[in-house]
């Protein structure tokens, strides 16, 4: 990547994004507050979602490896997140992984503590990279133990996916996607401590990657299906919908694991997601689309996931666009396709003219309607999430071997 690009991403990270999050850490109990309004001006709750705590720990793991004047500060706050999660987030019941929600002090709360395997995976990835960054093998081993427990739960059919559960007769590619990435993160962290175990987990990551390409891809349309009905075809809105942002994020996960092994299959998926997901009238990438393009349609069930798809399909979300940007940059390391460069430029221009707040200390206005107007609405979790932007900017700044097209 050209040096001017790298400098731009680092400047945006350190001057637009991190100043907001630097004031969000809890000085009393540790952890980070994420229940902010979309504009970043009001903290609405001191509850702590383990999903977000684990993801922020991953980010801090990367930041303490950067030449930052706040390196010691990020180490201190990362250690406190790790300690907060260790106080009660990891549940002891054999049928449970990580508590989904904690109160300010780190005590699990809610009618059910275990409701999401995604929380398991984000905590596992956060622990893995934190242990690697701090050279603490015991923490990496904790990540491995949690990862193995999550694998076991999935194998036994205990697949929790709140806040949007799917029917038992369906399969979500998101499960394979998150397990693929978690296995990759863990495998990388294990290299310095246990190469043999690292290789075994790497093979897990490859199996998840191959299964996504073999089972969830519609070969005829070059689309990655988000939800597959194991008993019938695609008739409902849930089954027909496609998620361009998830496709793009998933593809760079797979690329990290398989390198260019199946690149000829991945590039058509990448370009199709962008071509069909792009809003030609208002710009930006739709949150959801129908398998035939445009607004998702089909029989609608009375469930939270279908309601979310129907009501927010044309929203423009922060994470979709930064994941698209990184996916495009990442794919230039293995492809000369000129369409990738063209899409990179198009996505970058839209992203950085649409999402950043005018006041630097307020980060981004992450959730927007189709036209780009801010929308004060809960998306998945009632949080202003730090993960996708920080992760993308870090990875973009670190990316080596990018074709000379950006």
- pLDDT (0 to 100) of residue 379: 67
**Model confidence at 129: pLDDT above 70:** yes
Specify if 405 maps to a domain: no
**Model confidence at 83: pLDDT above 90:** yes
Binned at pLDDT 50, 70 and 90, residue 4 comes out as: low
- Which secondary structure element, helix H or strand E, spans residue 103, and what is its range? none
Which of these, 120, 181, 127, 110, lies nearest to 152 by C-alpha position?
Answer: 120
> How large is the average pLDDT for residues 154-162?
93
The rounded Cα 51 to chain-centroid distance in angstroms is 10
3-state secondary structure of 147: helix
Q: Using one digit for the tens of pLDDT, what is the confidence trace for 36-49?
A: 998 999 999 999 99
The overall longest dimension of the chain from CA atoms, in Å, is: 56
Q: Are 29 and 105 in contact (CB under 8 A)?
A: yes
Q: For the residues of 36-91, what is the DSSP string, one character each?
A: B-TTS--B----EEHHHHHHHHHHHHHHTTS--TTHHHHHHHHHHHHHHHHTTTB-
Lowest mean pLDDT among 9-13, 271-275, 376-380: 376-380
Lowest mean pLDDT among 92-96, 233-237, 400-404: 400-404
Binned at pLDDT 50, 70 and 90, residue 242 comes out as: very high
Specify if 68 maps to a domain: yes
- pLDDT (0 to 100) of residue 166: 87
Residues 109, 112: Cα–Cα separation, whole Å: 8
Lowest mean pLDDT among 110-114, 151-155, 164-168, 249-253: 164-168
Specify if 314 maps to a domain: yes
3-state secondary structure of 190: helix
Specify if 406 maps to a domain: no
Q: Measuring CA to CA, how many Å separate 249 from each of 23, 242, 246, 374?
A: 28, 13, 5, 23
- pLDDT (0 to 100) of residue 233: 82
Task: Please state whether 293 falls in left (phi above 0), alpha (psi between -120 and 50) or beta.
Answer: left
* Percent above pLDDT 90 for the chain: 86
Joined together, the tokens standing for residue 288 give 């959801």
Write down the mean pLDDT value for the chain.
Answer: 94
> Phi, psi (5° rounding) for residue 90?
-85, 115
- pLDDT (0 to 100) of residue 145: 98
- pLDDT (0 to 100) of residue 378: 66
> How large is the average pLDDT for residues 317-333?
97
- Which secondary structure element, helix H or strand E, spans residue 367, and what is its range? strand 367-368
- pLDDT (0 to 100) of residue 406: 41
Domain CATH number, residue 198? 1.50.10.10
Specify if 141 maps to a domain: yes
**Model confidence at 197: pLDDT above 70:** yes
- pLDDT (0 to 100) of residue 337: 94
- pLDDT (0 to 100) of residue 69: 81
Specify if 392 maps to a domain: yes
Binned at pLDDT 50, 70 and 90, residue 405 comes out as: very low
Specify if 239 maps to a domain: yes
Straight-line distance from the first to the last Cα atom of the chain, in angstroms, rounded to the nearest whole number: 6
Lowest mean pLDDT among 3-17, 52-66, 243-257: 3-17
Domain that holds residue 103: 3-398
The count of structural domains within the chain is 1
**How long a stretch of residues is the chain?**
406
- pLDDT (0 to 100) of residue 404: 42
Residues 121, 81: Cα–Cα separation, whole Å: 16
- pLDDT (0 to 100) of residue 78: 98
- pLDDT (0 to 100) of residue 3: 57
> How large is the average pLDDT for residues 128-143?
98
Q: Using one digit for the tens of pLDDT, what is the confidence trace for 21-37?
A: 999 999 999 999 999 99
Q: Using one digit for the tens of pLDDT, what is the confidence trace for 272-294?
A: 999 999 999 999 999 999 999 99
């Amino acid at each position: 990547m050209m040096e001017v690009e790298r400098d731009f991403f680092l400047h945006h990270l350190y001057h637009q994004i991190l100043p907001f999050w630097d004031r969000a850490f809890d000085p009393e109990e540790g952890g980070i507050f994420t229940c902010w309004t979309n504009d970043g001006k009001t903290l609405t709750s001191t509850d702590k979602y383990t999903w977000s705590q684990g993801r922020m720990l991953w980010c801090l793991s990367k930041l303490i490896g950067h030449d930052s004047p706040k390196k010691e500060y990020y180490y201190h706050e990362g250690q406190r997140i790790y300690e907060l999660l260790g106080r009660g987030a990891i549940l002891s019941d054999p049928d449970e992984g990580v508590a989904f929600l904690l109160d300010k002090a780190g005590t699990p709360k809610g009618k059910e503590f275990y409701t999401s395997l995604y929380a398991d995976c984000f905590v596992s990835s956060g622990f893995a990279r934190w242990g690697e960054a701090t050279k603490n093998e015991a923490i990496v081993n904790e990540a491995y133990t949690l990862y193995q427990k999550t694998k076991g739960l999935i194998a036994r059919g205990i697949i929790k996916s709140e806040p949007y559960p799917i029917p038992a007769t369906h399969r979500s590619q998101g499960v394979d996607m998150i397990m693929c990435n978690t296995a990759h993160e863990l495998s990388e962290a294990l290299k310095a401590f246990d190469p043999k175990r690292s290789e075994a987990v790497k093979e897990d990551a490859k199996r998840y990657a191959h299964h996504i390409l073999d089972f969830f891809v519609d070969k005829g349309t070059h689309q990655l299906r988000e939800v597959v009905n194991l008993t019938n075809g695609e008739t409902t809105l849930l089954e027909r919908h496609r998620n361009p942002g998830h496709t793009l994020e998933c593809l760079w996960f797979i690329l990290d694991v398989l390198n260019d092994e199946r690149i000829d299959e991945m590039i058509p998926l990448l370009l199709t997601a962008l071509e069909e997901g792009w809003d030609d009238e208002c710009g930006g990438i739709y949150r959801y689309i129908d398998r035939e393009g445009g607004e998702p349609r089909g029989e609608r069930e009375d469930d939270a996931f279908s309601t979310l798809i129907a009501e927010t399909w044309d929203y423009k979300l922060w994470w979709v666009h930064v994941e698209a940007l990184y996916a495009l940059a990442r794919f230039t390391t293995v492809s000369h396709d000129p369409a990738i460069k063209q899409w990179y430029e198009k996505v970058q221009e839209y992203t950085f003219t649409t999402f950043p707040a005018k006041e630097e200390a307020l980060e981004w206005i992450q959730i927007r309607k189709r036209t780009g107007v801010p929308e004060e609405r809960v998306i998945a979790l009632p949080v202003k999430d730090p993960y996708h932007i920080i992760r993308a900017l870090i990875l973009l700044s670190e990316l080596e071997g990018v074709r000379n097209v950006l």
